[in-house]
Structure 1
Amino acid sequence: MPERLIAIGDVHGCRAALEGLLEAVGPRDGDRLVLLGDYVDRGPDSRGVIDLILELRESHDVVTLMGNHEEMMLGVVQGRSPASWWMRYGGKETLASYDEGADPSDLPKSHIKFLKGLLDYHEEEAFFFTHGNYVHNEELDRQPVEALRWTNLNERKPKPHKNGKTAIVGHSSQKSGEIVDLGHLVCIDTFCHGGGRLTAIDAYTRRLWQVDRDGHPVESGGK
């Protein structure tokens, strides 16, 4: 069991925020970091975010989940989805972070490998992690992708999962900058790219760390 089990919410291309958050958390040997997805789109430096995560994985225990934005991005890269759809939801900013005039074929192979290797969910002894949501009466390995990556908590707040574990999720942006804690579910997407915060939480203790888009620490409980 890791000493600290730390989840990080939706980064959305805000590398400065992720750098500041990691500095605040101070990952150490024995920690496990679970990144909940949506590393790309909307913010200014999606390429930099992926580079930073790849760097982090070299020295720390890091679990990376797939968000709906990575699903869109990978679909375009692999030619399965129209680029126009992704462009509407942040793909334009993501490609610009690679180079002016870049297209999906210009992505580094290491980044494509990263996208392909992202997980649907992660499970621990007393917790499980998904990007967005879950179906409460379905086993984790049989969850529909629509629930894991696309279903917002405003559409459906799930009941406690049949496994009895606490869910930690992102995806449903909290424009107040405050997390949602339902007891059986905690949502830590706090709208970093839109002027909110980037949040990390220690699942064991519920300790929070928050920074603004520029990576400066923010006290939880008020803007």
Structure 2
Amino acid sequence: MSNTFVIGDIHGGLIALKQALERAEIKKNDQLIFLGDYVDGWNDSARLIDYLMELNTQYDCVFMQGNHEEMVLKWLRYEEDNELWRFHGGQSTVDVYKLLTREVKDRHITFFNSLREYYLDDQNRLFVHAGFTNPKGVEFEFFRPLFWWDRTLWETAMALDERLPKDDIRYPSRFKLYKEIFIGHTPVTRFGQNTPMHCANVWNMDTGAAFNGKVTVMNVDTKAYWQSDIVQELYPEERGRN
């Protein structure tokens, strides 16, 4: 019997990802759905991309694009740069990629270009890095970067009165479209949490790996989850980064 696992934001924490996957006891026939933000943070961003490409040859993997992949791809392809990106983890990625060959960079560019905007499975469960805004659903989203930048989906889910029935006209139509929605992008550590948060039918899987949180792997069906150690403790040489 195969299982489907969803993996939250990683931000260069390769050691943490390996640890979480090992604790989840992933099997060869399992499906792994990654929600994006693989890079920008800890110093293993490039090695992490190599590892993801290797995983893709061994497992049924689905890779979402995150906002950090968008920024790294712009830098790699067009040398498009900005201070804000570097401040929010991009500098570590720049430092690592400057040491790599053109061949490796091109291979990673190919990987970044292959990332999905979203993934909808056969049970009507939506996987997307950040969110969407169109009340008719993701296929009608006009401004595609919202898939990796939007925070209104999660903000609305957190603010929703749990007592409000789904047939009430005030109930957000976005939440009626899909059985469940799995996102990353907004760290739950902002709300004093370090495990996946569940509001309405939305699961937030960003458990703060970019900062003082962890990488999390969740079984989509059972909601059992496994976490790495605090990523900062796995990269003691970078302890003062955040």
Q: Are the counterparts in 1 of residues 97 and 105 from structure 2 also a CA contact under 8 Å?
A: no
Query: Quick check: which has more Rg, 1 or 2?
Result: 2
TM-score of the superposition, structure 1-length normalised? 0.85
Per mean C-alpha deviation after superposition, the further-off stretch among 203-212 and 75-84 is 75-84
Distance 1:6 1:50 in 2: 19
Distance 1:92 1:67 in 2: 17
Distance 1:85 1:142 in 2: 30
Q: Are the counterparts in 2 of residues 136 and 162 from structure 1 also a CA contact under 8 Å?
A: no
Residue 181 of structure 1 corresponds to which residue in structure 2? Answer: 198
Give the deviation of 1:15 after TM superposition.
0.6
Give the deviation of 1:170 after TM superposition.
0.4
SS at match of 1:109: helix
Match of 1:172 among 186, 191, 215: 186
Which residue identity does 1:139 align to in structure 2? G
Residues 83-119 of structure 1: CA deviation (Å, up to 9, x unaligned): 445323222101222355x79x685221110001100
Residue 19 of structure 1 corresponds to which residue in structure 2? Answer: 18
Distance 1:80 1:161 in 2: 38
Which residue identity does 2:115 align to in structure 1? L
Q: Are the counterparts in 1 of residues 67 and 148 from structure 2 also a CA contact under 8 Å?
A: yes
Q: Are the counterparts in 2 of residues 131 and 148 from structure 1 also a CA contact under 8 Å?
A: yes
Residue 237 of structure 2 corresponds to which residue in structure 1? Answer: none
Name the CA shift for 1:155/1:203 in 2 (closer, same or farther; >3 Å). Answer: closer
Give the deviation of 1:51 after TM superposition.
0.9
Which residue identity does 2:183 align to in structure 1? V
Alignment of 1:209-220 (within 5 A): 209-212=226-229, 213=231
Q: Which runs of 5+ in 1 are unaligned?
A: 216-223
Alignment of 1:112-123 (within 5 A): 112-123=109-120
Match of 1:109 among 102, 106, 109: 106
SS at match of 1:44: coil
Alignment of 1:43-82 (within 5 A): 43-79=42-78, 81-82=80-81
Residues 121-140 of structure 1: CA deviation (Å, up to 9, x unaligned): 00112311000112261332
Q: Are the counterparts in 2 of residues 177 and 190 from structure 1 also a CA contact under 8 Å?
A: yes
SS at match of 1:129: strand
Identical columns (%): 27
Residue 6 of structure 1 corresponds to which residue in structure 2? Answer: 5
SS at match of 2:206: coil
SS at match of 1:92: helix
- Bigger proportion of residues as helix: 2
Q: Give RMSD over aligned pairs.
A: 2.4
Name the CA shift for 1:15/1:153 in 2 (closer, same or farther; >3 Å). Answer: farther
Per mean C-alpha deviation after superposition, the further-off stretch among 155-164 and 116-125 is 155-164
Give the deviation of 1:3 after TM superposition.
2.6
Residue 40 of structure 1 corresponds to which residue in structure 2? Answer: 39
Residues 35-85 of structure 1: CA deviation (Å, up to 9, x unaligned): 000000011210111011011011100000000000111112221733445
Match of 1:140 among 115, 138, 141: 138
Residue 207 of structure 1 corresponds to which residue in structure 2? Answer: 224
Q: Are the counterparts in 2 of residues 21 and 209 from structure 1 also a CA contact under 8 Å?
A: yes
Q: Which runs of 5+ in 2 are unaligned?
A: 158-171, 235-242
Distance 1:205 1:135 in 2: 28
Q: Are the counterparts in 1 of residues 126 and 178 from structure 2 also a CA contact under 8 Å?
A: no
TM-score of the superposition, structure 2-length normalised? 0.79
